[in-house]
Amino acid sequence: MPPAREGAHVTSDDATALIGLDWGTTSLRAYRIARDGRVMERRERDAGILRVADGGFAGALAGAVGGWPLDGRVPILAAGMIGSRQGWREVPYVGCPAGLAELAAGLGTVAMPDGSPVHLVPGLLLEGPAGDFPDVMRGEETQILGDLAGGRDADACCYLLPGTHSKWAWCERAGRIARFATYMTGEVYEVLTRHSILGRLMSSGAAPDAADAFGRGLAQAARSAAGSPGRLLHDLFGARTLGLTGGLPPEGLASYLSGLLIGAEVAAVTAGDGVGTVVILGSGTLAPLYARAAGAAGLDAVVGEVDAVARGLHAIARAAGLIRGTDDA
């Protein structure tokens, strides 16, 4: 079924059962969701938590979902950094393994000016082994559980969510997220291209990857992983010397760096964990790069549920008793 257009007429069959929000650092995505989980309308606003001044979250929410029922009759459920220390209210992390029941039990609540509640999905905390460090996520757990709710075999796959901080997650057959790992690859790429000496030789050209610089970066990462693991801090310098010596054109250097970093990430995950099929959740420019890197490393990569976060919000809302599904009727 195609997604409804913004502002489509709401019939009685299309009664809004849930307003779902994916509220991250830079953007706010809002979904008007039917009782059976269908997305009837979606909106995206440039209103991430870092762009909302003075804690004006209620106003930002009302602005984003203008025209939707906000009188307290329709539950509102939000996932993502809105539940972090920098968000509307910090909702304590829930420990792994965690599925719908654990997230539903850990919901936090804030109030709109009229007193009606907005429910916040908690993030996940994975305690590391003794001496290791913990890992955290906020928002991705909802996407993963949304994809799982579509009937995916959790045992045969792992999830990959590309982004500034990419997340890899492994689930139990019972539908719970067992463990996950964050890789700072995207942010490392950003700061190196924008603030390090590597950016000085880079230029963006009309054909930015004519030399398949991304593929060369992937190949270098694979060689290093096979021969001298952990060489990334050395390999980075290649994104300078290949520019200095004419081994790559200036407009290929950023892609080479991207290949080096994403290749190193995929190699590290592959070395440390069983992977199976990689289910990639997320659109944008990073997803195809990760799909290619996974393929180059011999992994099967598939694209997951497009509306995973909306499906996850619906499933969590049902688990929390905020709405009843059609099969409860």
Q: What contacts 142, CB < 8 A, 6 or more positions away?
A: 22, 79, 80, 103, 121, 308, 309, 312, 313, 316
Among 242, 281, 308, 313, binds a copy of itself (CB under 8 A): 242
Select the span of 28-36, 41-49, 59-67, 186-194 touching a copy of itself (CB under 8 A). 186-194
Select the span of 4-12, 34-42, 150-158, 239-247 touching a copy of itself (CB under 8 A). 239-247
Strand residues in the chain grouped as ranges (E)? 16-23, 28-34, 39-45, 76-79, 94-95, 108-111, 117-120, 124-126, 135-137, 157-161, 166-171, 177-183, 277-280, 301-303
Q: How many CB atoms lie within 10 A of CB 190?
A: 12
DSSP per residue, 263-275: HHHHHHHHHHS--
Among 112, 219, 306, 319, binds a copy of itself (CB under 8 A): 219
DSSP per residue, 119-165: EE---EEEPPSTTS--EEESSHHHHHHHHHHTT--GGGEEEEE-SSS
User: In the window 250-269, what residues touch a copy of itself (CB under 8 A)?
Assistant: 261, 264-265, 267-268
**192 is an interface residue for a copy of itself by CB under 8 A:** yes
Q: What is the dihedral of CA 93, 99, 100, 106, to 10 degrees?
A: -20
Q: How far is the CB of 273 from a copy of itself (least distance, A)?
A: 8
Q: How far is the CB of 168 from a copy of itself (least distance, A)?
A: 9
Q: How far is the CB of 241 from a copy of itself (least distance, A)?
A: 5
**230 is an interface residue for a copy of itself by CB under 8 A:** yes
Beta bridge partners of 303: 280
Which position has the token pair 């709405």? 323
Among 89, 223, 249, 295, binds a copy of itself (CB under 8 A): 223
The Cα–Cα gap between 137 and 140 comes to 6
The three-class DSSP label of residue 79 is strand
Nearer to a copy of itself, 37 or 282 (CB): 282
**241 is an interface residue for a copy of itself by CB under 8 A:** yes
Phi-psi region of 93 (alpha: psi -120 to 50; beta: other; left: phi over 0): beta
Among 19, 188, 322, 323, binds a copy of itself (CB under 8 A): 188
Q: How far is the CB of 270 from a copy of itself (least distance, A)?
A: 9
In one-letter notation, the amino acid at residue 210 is: A
Strands 277-280 and 94-95, how do they pair? unpaired
User: In the window 117-146, what residues touch a copy of itself (CB under 8 A)?
Assistant: 125, 128, 131-136
Among 10, 58, 69, 182, binds a copy of itself (CB under 8 A): 182
**306 is an interface residue for a copy of itself by CB under 8 A:** no
Total binding residues toward a copy of itself, as defined by CB under 8 A: 56
Strand residues in 35-71 grouped as ranges (E)? 39-45
**274 is an interface residue for a copy of itself by CB under 8 A:** no
Structure tokens at 157: 């796959």
Nearer to a copy of itself, 82 or 232 (CB): 232
Nearer to a copy of itself, 37 or 83 (CB): 83
Contact pattern from residue 197 through residue 216 relative to a copy of itself, giving x for each residue in contact according to CB under 8 A and a dash for the rest: xx-----------------x
- Assess contact for 124 and 137: CB atoms under 8 A: yes
Which residues make up the interface to a copy of itself (CB under 8 A)? 85, 125, 128, 131-136, 165, 181-185, 187-188, 190-192, 194-198, 216, 219-220, 223-225, 227-238, 241-242, 244-245, 247, 261, 264-265, 267-268, 271-273
